[in-house]
């Protein structure tokens, strides 16, 4: 701060400081880019103020600086802020106030950083408020107190006008909101109490009266659209000028007021009308709205379930064939409605998830078998069998890898049997192999342990549990260029040697280490307590992150947090969540392509000449045996692909007919 022990006297320093302050005010008011401080000018001003504030007693001039600093803001308010507001009214006053606040805020920012050494010296000793708060305090006492109520009322009037349809650009009142926020001096209290709460109250009043009126004036569908419109209007308003934190509050309030108390009977009739009229778009709107209020979807689901049960009961009265057709029709409609358009989840993924949760529930055997059986009875109704199998396979992989102790082979085999029964042998062979791998691994691990005990050279200093996965059967896992620490490298080498010594069948296999799946438990002592930390191999070294946000950037640094304390002594550190939906989609789509092509070729080879439509029907029938449902378009794509590869050709005269080209004819 003052390495050379220079002292600056009051007479020397004051003119420099005053000149500097005047300069700051000019910069802010005129906003001129070229009027900025040159670096050396700023440095000089900064060091002058710093030296004056920190030089030793009796030369310390902190008190004087503090006075100059305070007077500056006092004067500024008296001479600039108040006069400009005195003669203005209404919205003009509002924008003027916003402008003045913005200037005041900038001056505060610049001067408080110039005078920041007062905080550690003079202010600290005299227990005064910090420089920034001093400046904000003046504004609060001299300006804000008198204007906040009027400003709030003016803003609420404007909002009301917007709601009534006037086209007002609210973005120019953003600065007033900044003032409310800024006046909280670091927290949101003033914004909340002086603006947000009154605003929310007014909004509530408005929508309460709307709800009653709309209910009277509009049909169910129009009402829903009104709600959607209202919600959009309010969130738009927030985005235009309010603080972002208000958005969720206002959305929640609007939806609650407009939907929660919607008469049960009207809702029921309304929803069923939409369902029967196949108004998918409107139902989507309804879904997105109800999704946002607590238990909204459950409520909708309940109504819908009742509807399906009623339909079912009605069918039951008819003869058998009619029942089957009707039920199938309802199911088709259900799938079309709910899988494709709404939640983005399919029956396939939901059922796989349900099975996974059941297996992990830890209930007794009878209960688990009971639930599994019921759930698996639904298999014939799963429309995308290949998706379902892929989801199941991934869930199985995670269970076998990460919760091996609690995995019950019999349960897994039971599920696999059921799937085999429904979709055929080919579909499940990879899952069977996975379970077999997992059983083999247990033996292999025992052998490895014995082996380690026999040979003193192989002392590892820690326990190594490796799993061997046959790469074709398990999902493709990410492998990376992770550099394991020295002791792990050694352990890996020892394991590799051990593995190669095992039975002959292993001899030609290549081992690839998948560190992305690795987990490790390390013992750590924090304070006086010993903890077992279970974490992924990647996390092995990174224990604390700087800066401590949830997102990870390239420049972030990590270090060990020695202050860590926790009640439990065994802690599992979770890996970042993975989203595999997209990946599954790609894998299954690619598999499906081959399945379609090979089916087409099988049929073409057998029939040689076949019409497009017959091919589609035949192909669809064949694929549905594997639970694959294919639309016309994706089949056409594959036909076109095969045509381009000259495996088949379109008949020259009848474009609806396809012809098989024997392979010796194709120009390879």
Partner 1 sequence: MDASWIDISEIYRRYCEIKSGHVCIIGEEGYRQDSDVQKAKLSREALTQLSKFVESRVRTGATIFEELSMLMSRVDLMADISEFSRFYDFVFFMCRENGQKNISVSKALTAWKLVLTGRFPLLHQWCDFVEKNQRYNISEDTWLQVLAFSRYTRDNLEGYDREGAWPVLIDDFVEYMSRISGSCYDNSDCHCNCGDPESQSCVFEDP
Q: Which residues contact 4 (CB under 8 A, 6 or more apart)?
A: none
Question: Out of 41, 146, 532, 665, which residue is the one contacting partner 1 (CB under 8 A)?
Answer: 665
Using CB under 8 A as the binding criterion, the count of chain residues that bind partner 1 stands at: 16
8 Å CB contact between 66 and 118: yes
* Interaction between residue 482 and partner 1 (CB under 8 A): no
- Torsion on CA atoms 610, 615, 618, 624, rounded to nearest 10: 160
Residue in the structure block whose two tokens are 């010993």:
530
Q: Which residues contact 296 (CB under 8 A, 6 or more apart)?
A: 259, 289, 290
8 Å CB contact between 285 and 228: yes
Minimum gap (Å) between residue 383 Cβ and partner 1: 22
Minimum gap (Å) between residue 657 Cβ and partner 1: 8
Nearer to partner 1, 575 or 611 (CB): 611
Cα dist from 114 to 74, 110, 482, whole Å:
18, 6, 47
Nearer to partner 1, 26 or 646 (CB): 646
8 Å CB contact between 59 and 52: no
d(CA 81, CA 667): 86
Minimum gap (Å) between residue 651 Cβ and partner 1: 10
Structure tokens, 361: 């529930």
Cα dist from 47 to 16, 40, 43, 354, whole Å:
11, 10, 6, 68
Minimum gap (Å) between residue 341 Cβ and partner 1: 17
Ranges within 317-356 binding partner 1 (CB under 8 A): none
Nearer to partner 1, 498 or 612 (CB): 612
Nearer to partner 1, 209 or 613 (CB): 613
Minimum gap (Å) between residue 330 Cβ and partner 1: 25
Nearer to partner 1, 28 or 658 (CB): 658
Q: How is 349-402 classified by DSSP, letter by letter? A: HHHHHHHHHHHHT---HHHHHHHHHHHHTTGGG-S-HHHHHHHHHHHHHHHHHH
Encoded one letter per residue, x for contact with partner 1 by CB under 8 A and - for no contact, window 625-664 reads --------x--xx--x--xx-x---x----xx-x------
Cα dist from 61 to 53, 57, 100, 448, whole Å:
6, 9, 31, 76
Minimum gap (Å) between residue 598 Cβ and partner 1: 20
Minimum gap (Å) between residue 596 Cβ and partner 1: 13
Structure tokens, 220: 């169910």
Nearer to partner 1, 376 or 635 (CB): 635
Nearest to 558, CA basis, from 574, 543, 570, 571: 543
Q: How many residues does the chain have?
A: 668
Q: Name the DSSP letter for residue 141.
A: I
d(CA 166, CA 159): 9
Minimum gap (Å) between residue 340 Cβ and partner 1: 17
Structure tokens, 63: 């008190």
Nearer to partner 1, 3 or 662 (CB): 662
d(CA 151, CA 177): 10
Nearer to partner 1, 363 or 656 (CB): 656
Nearer to partner 1, 56 or 668 (CB): 668
Minimum gap (Å) between residue 620 Cβ and partner 1: 14
Nearer to partner 1, 12 or 656 (CB): 656
Encoded one letter per residue, x for contact with partner 1 by CB under 8 A and - for no contact, window 604-623 reads -------xxx----------
Ranges within 363-402 binding partner 1 (CB under 8 A): none
Q: How is 150-195 classified by DSSP, letter by letter? A: HHHHHHHHHHHHHHTT----GGGGHHHHHHHHHTTTTSSHHIIIII
Minimum gap (Å) between residue 229 Cβ and partner 1: 25
Minimum gap (Å) between residue 649 Cβ and partner 1: 8
Nearer to partner 1, 11 or 633 (CB): 633
Nearer to partner 1, 96 or 614 (CB): 614
Nearer to partner 1, 419 or 604 (CB): 604
Nearest to 408, CA basis, from 377, 365, 372: 365
Minimum gap (Å) between residue 645 Cβ and partner 1: 8
Minimum gap (Å) between residue 274 Cβ and partner 1: 23
d(CA 226, CA 218): 9
Minimum gap (Å) between residue 601 Cβ and partner 1: 17
Ranges within 484-543 binding partner 1 (CB under 8 A): none
Structure tokens, 34: 């070229």
Three-point CA angle 525, 528, 532, nearest 5°: 35
Nearer to partner 1, 273 or 641 (CB): 641
Site residues (vs partner 1, CB under 8 A) = 611-613, 633, 636-637, 640, 643-644, 646, 650, 655-656, 658, 665, 667
């Amino acid at each position: 701060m003052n390495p050379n022990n220079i002292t600056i006297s009051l007479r020397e320093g004051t003119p420099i400081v005053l000149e500097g302050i005047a300069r700051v005010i000019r910069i802010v008011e005129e906003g001129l880019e070229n009027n900025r401080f040159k670096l050396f000018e700023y440095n000089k001003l900064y060091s002058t103020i710093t030296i004056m504030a920190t030089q030793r007693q009796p030369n310390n001039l902190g008190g004087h600086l503090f006075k100059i600093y305070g007077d500056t803001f006092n004067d500024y308010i008296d001479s600039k802020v108040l006069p400009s507001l005195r003669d203005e009214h209404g919205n003009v006053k509002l924008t003027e106030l916003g402008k003045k606040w913005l200037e005041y805020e900038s001056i505060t920012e610049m001067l408080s950083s110039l005078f920041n050494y007062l905080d550690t010296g003079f202010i600290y000793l005299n227990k005064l408020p910090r420089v920034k708060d001093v400046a904000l305090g003046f504004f609060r006492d001299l300006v804000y107190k008198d204007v906040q109520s009027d400003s709030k009322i003016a803003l609420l009037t404007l909002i009301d006008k917007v709601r009534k349809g006037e086209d007002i650009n609210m973005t120019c009142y953003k600065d007033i909101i900044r003032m409310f926020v800024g006046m909280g001096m670091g927290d949101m209290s003033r914004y909340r109490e002086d603006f947000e709460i009154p605003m929310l109250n007014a909004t509530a009043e408005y929508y309460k009266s709307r709800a009653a009126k709309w209910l009277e004036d509009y049909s169910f569908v129009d009402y829903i659209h009104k709600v959607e419109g209202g919600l959009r209007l309010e969130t738009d308003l927030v985005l235009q000028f309010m603080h972002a934190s208000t958005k969720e509050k206002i959305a929640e309030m609007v939806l609650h007021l407009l939907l929660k108390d919607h008469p049960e009977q009207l809702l029921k009739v309304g929803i069923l009308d939409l369902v029967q009229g196949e108004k998918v778009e409107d139902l989507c709107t309804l879904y997105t709205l109800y999704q946002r209020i607590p238990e909204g979807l459950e409520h909708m689901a309940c109504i819908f379930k009742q509807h399906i049960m009623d339909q079912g009961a009605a069918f039951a009265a008819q003869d058998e064939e009619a029942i089957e057709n009707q039920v199938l029709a309802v199911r088709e409609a259900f799938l079309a409605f709910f899988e494709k358009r709404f939640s983005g989840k399919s029956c396939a993924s939901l059922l796989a998830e349900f099975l996974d949760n059941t297996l992990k529930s830890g209930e007794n055997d009878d209960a688990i078998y009971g639930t599994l059986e019921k759930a698996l009875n639904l298999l014939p109704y799963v429309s995308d069998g290949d998706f379902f199998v892929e989801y199941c396979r991934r869930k199985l992989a995670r269970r076998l890898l990460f919760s091996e102790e609690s995995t019950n082979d019999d349960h897994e085999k039971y599920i696999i049997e059921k799937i085999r029964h429904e979709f055929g042998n080919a579909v499940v062979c990879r899952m069977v192999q996975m379970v077999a791998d997992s059983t083999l691994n247990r033996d292999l691990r025992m052998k490895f342990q014995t082996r380690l005990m026999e040979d003193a050279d192989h002392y590892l200093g820690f326990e190594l549990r490796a799993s061997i996965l046959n790469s074709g059967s398990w999902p493709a896992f990410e492998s990376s260029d992770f550099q394991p620490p020295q002791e792990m490298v050694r352990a890996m080498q020892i394991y590799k040697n051990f593995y190669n010594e095992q039975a002959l069948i292993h001899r030609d296999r290549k081992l690839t280490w998948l560190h992305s799946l690795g987990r490790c438990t390390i013992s750590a002592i924090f304070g006086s307590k010993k903890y077992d930390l279970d974490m992924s191999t990647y996390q092995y070294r990174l224990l604390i992150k700087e800066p401590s946000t949830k997102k990870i950037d390239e420049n972030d640094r990590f270090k060990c947090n020695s202050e860590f304390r926790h009640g439990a002594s065994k802690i599992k550190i979770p890996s970042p969540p993975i989203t595999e939906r997209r990946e599954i989609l790609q894998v299954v789509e690619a598999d499906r392509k081959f399945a379609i092509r090979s089916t087409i070729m099988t049929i073409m080879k057998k029939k040689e000449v076949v019409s497009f439509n017959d091919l589609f029907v035949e192909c669809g029938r064949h694929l549905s045996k594997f639970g694959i449902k294919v639309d016309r378009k994706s089949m056409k794509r594959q036909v076109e692909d095969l045509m381009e590869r000259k495996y088949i050709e379109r008949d020259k005269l009848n474009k609806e007919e396809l012809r098989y080209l024997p392979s010796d004819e194709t120009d390879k």
